[in-house]
Structure 1
Amino acid sequence: MKAARILTAAAALMVGLIGAEAQAEQYRLGLITPPPHQWSKSAVTVADRIKEATNGRVEILVFPSGQLGNEAQMLQQLQTGALDFAFLTLGEFANRDADYGVFLAPYIVKDAAGARQILKGGVAQKLLGGVSKFALKGFGWGMAGMRQIVMRGPVASVADLSGKKVRTVPFAQELDFWTRLGAAPTPMPLPALYDAFANGQVDGMQIDFEGTWNSKYYEHAGAVLASNHMMFPMIAVGSGRKWQTVPKEDQAVIEKIMAEELDGIVGAYAEIDATYLDKLKTTSVPVVNADRAFFGGAVDLWYQSWREKTPLLKELEKEAAGL
């Protein structure tokens, strides 16, 4: 009887030890894109790979579609340590330091392949390291597709954009670009965009082909302008405060897998852009090609202004010229 009790106690102890070993350290990763978006899919892949590489020791829970708040709220959570990781656009950074908006330069690159090279360059690395001043840890750069334009009505020339309410993200550089075109840039959270476009609260949007198709914005569109007029970087960051508490061996795994998957996101967009453009061409919505000349003098005036406001733009232009 005594032996049986000893065996039972030993078994209970073993179960407890196994349970302790199996208990994962959980972290949260937030982003604003919906589940079908490449950023969200890659975030899930990052979480799966890290869990496997750490034998279940590290578990990252992914919260897409702004479930943890908008980007301003997520940034604040990162800074306080309430959120561990996030994939963010540059809006909140650019509004605190204009240098983070230089990647919004119109036609700085011609396509996603060019964007991939720029995001490996010196300016990108300088800005990645600079997030420490926001109490963040920078992991690397991703991107969404090149920016295109989707409008409710037909568009034959840039004059057809004048006075139109165009959904943008609240980058000063992006807002300035649309203001120079005579449009009314209208910042709006991504989850609210479909209804706003469907009911006419906004007349159009700056978006990529992927989002246009997956979110079915084309259902209410009168024209899609294939312009490739801007790149749209994403920056993967972590809470500086929480990062200090992550064991070194886990830090190494997270950094390695983050870097690999982020480069995979950027590398995928040449094909993603082409695939979704082909899909949009199967709809009844006209796809209109629009190059730099389409926008008239607005692009040149934008550069004249922002070279003075952000001298780092000149450095980025030199890198782009060498591609």
Structure 2
Amino acid sequence: MKRLAGAALAVSFAAFTAGGAVAEEYRMGLITPPPHQWTVTAKEAADEIKAKTDGRVDILIFPSGQLGSEAQMLQQLQTGAMDFAFFTLGEFSNRDPNYGIFLAPFIVDDVAGAQKLLKGETAQKLLDGMADFGLVGLGWGMAGMRMIVTSDPVETVEDLKGKKIRTIPFAPELAFWEGLGAAPTPMPLPALYDAFANGQVDGMQIDVEGTWNSKYFEHASSIIISDHMMFPMAAIASGRKWAGISEEDRAIVEAVFSEKLDSLVAGYAEIDADYRKKLETTEVTVMDVDRDWFGPALEEWYVRWREEAPMLKELEAEASGK
């Protein structure tokens, strides 16, 4: 009887740790493939969180859209069927246009400018506002600065007219391409390689990292290094599941994600430079362009979105240092 009692006590002790919290597995979804820096960062954060919480918070990573599209994953987060995610801005900006303001063309010049804005007051307001979606905002990350990859040669912006450009389905990005006379074509990231290879799309708005790692360059004629947009990522948690994590462990999760996201953003200056060098070793034409290359469509975009997303004016003021 004493031996049985001792075994029961051991099981009880294993199940409960400091603060009486139950060790639990959590699911984290991403649309990016395993080699992508978002997925790498998620895995690093999960490992550190598990270690620092003595296994109480064990986050399992599901990349490449294994848990569904971002729309499907958002529903899972809201019901508590999924726990954490790294999301693009699409599902947020489609519900509140203010979440699309980070996609303002040339709002920043480079990764350093993006990092500053993502730690600013406007970014924090938007992060706090995720409570309206039943979520907890843990921080902002980003992918590399946006550039353009096309299957046909491109020299001027006129060459993009009528081209089917793969985008993420949110209004500010769609409006950008429509203003250039292109045909924005939303599709899931995992489907992009085949779609580009078989001509379902003529090009894409992407970053140098994704172009190299996913081998989009294999079917490209032009790579246009424009750095015309930053591409933020939101680290989020299900509000329902977050409430069930102890205050001590929530603090650990927040601190780890904050550190990892900051390193992720800062690292993209070097990442972009390194992957550009790799792309320049291919037979694809790599061309640099600036704001003027895009013509009057940019100012037309701003006129529209200053009205539709009032917080854009706040972001512009931050970006200009006013």
Question: Residues 208 and 9 of structure 1: is their aligned pair in 2 closer, same or farther, counting only changes over 3 Å?
Answer: same
Task: Report how far residue 30 of structure 1 moved.
Answer: 0.6
SS at 2:108's partner residue? coil
1:109 equivalent in structure 2: 108
1:222 equivalent in structure 2: 221
Distance (whole Å) between structure 1 residues aligned to residue 246 and residue 190 of structure 2: 36
Matched, 1:36 2:32: no
2:11 equivalent in structure 1: 16
Distance (whole Å) between structure 1 residues aligned to residue 119 and residue 231 of structure 2: 14
Amino acid at match of 1:272: I
Distance (whole Å) between structure 2 residues aligned to residue 71 and residue 13 of structure 1: 43
Per-residue CA distance 1:55-85 (angstroms, 9 max, x = gap): 1222011111011000001111111111111
Distance (whole Å) between structure 1 residues aligned to residue 107 and residue 48 of structure 2: 34
* Paired residue total: 318
Matched, 1:297 2:292: no
Distance (whole Å) between structure 2 residues aligned to residue 283 and residue 152 of structure 1: 14
SS at 1:284's partner residue? coil
2:271 equivalent in structure 1: 272
Give the aligned CA root-mean-square deviation in angstroms.
Answer: 1.4
SS at 1:234's partner residue? strand
Q: How does 1:115-130 map to 2 (within 5 A)?
A: 115-130=114-129
- For structure 1, list consecutive stretches of 5 or more residues without a partner in the other structure: none
Identity %: 64
Task: Report how far residue 14 of structure 1 moved.
Answer: 5.5
2:184 equivalent in structure 1: 185
Distance (whole Å) between structure 2 residues aligned to residue 281 and residue 215 of structure 1: 16
Distance (whole Å) between structure 2 residues aligned to residue 16 and residue 157 of structure 1: 68
SS at 2:65's partner residue? coil
2:201 equivalent in structure 1: 202
SS at 1:176's partner residue? helix
1:69 equivalent in structure 2: 68
Distance (whole Å) between structure 2 residues aligned to residue 168 and residue 58 of structure 1: 35
Distance (whole Å) between structure 2 residues aligned to residue 40 and residue 120 of structure 1: 21
Distance (whole Å) between structure 1 residues aligned to residue 68 and residue 38 of structure 2: 17
Per-residue CA distance 1:166-218 (angstroms, 9 max, x = gap): 00001101101100111000000000000000000000000000000000000
SS at 1:118's partner residue? helix
Task: Report how far residue 24 of structure 1 moved.
Answer: 2.8
Task: Report how far residue 9 of structure 1 moved.
Answer: 3.5
Task: Report how far residue 302 of structure 1 moved.
Answer: 0.8
SS at 1:195's partner residue? helix
Task: Report how far residue 10 of structure 1 moved.
Answer: 5.7
Distance (whole Å) between structure 2 residues aligned to residue 33 and residue 9 of structure 1: 48
Distance (whole Å) between structure 2 residues aligned to residue 303 and residue 191 of structure 1: 31
Larger radius of gyration: 1
Task: Report how far residue 247 of structure 1 moved.
Answer: 1.1
Per-residue CA distance 1:144-180 (angstroms, 9 max, x = gap): 0000000001111011101000000011011011001
SS at 1:173's partner residue? helix
SS at 1:246's partner residue? coil
Moved runs in structure 1, 4+ residues, more than 2 A?
Answer: 8-24
Amino acid at match of 1:249: E
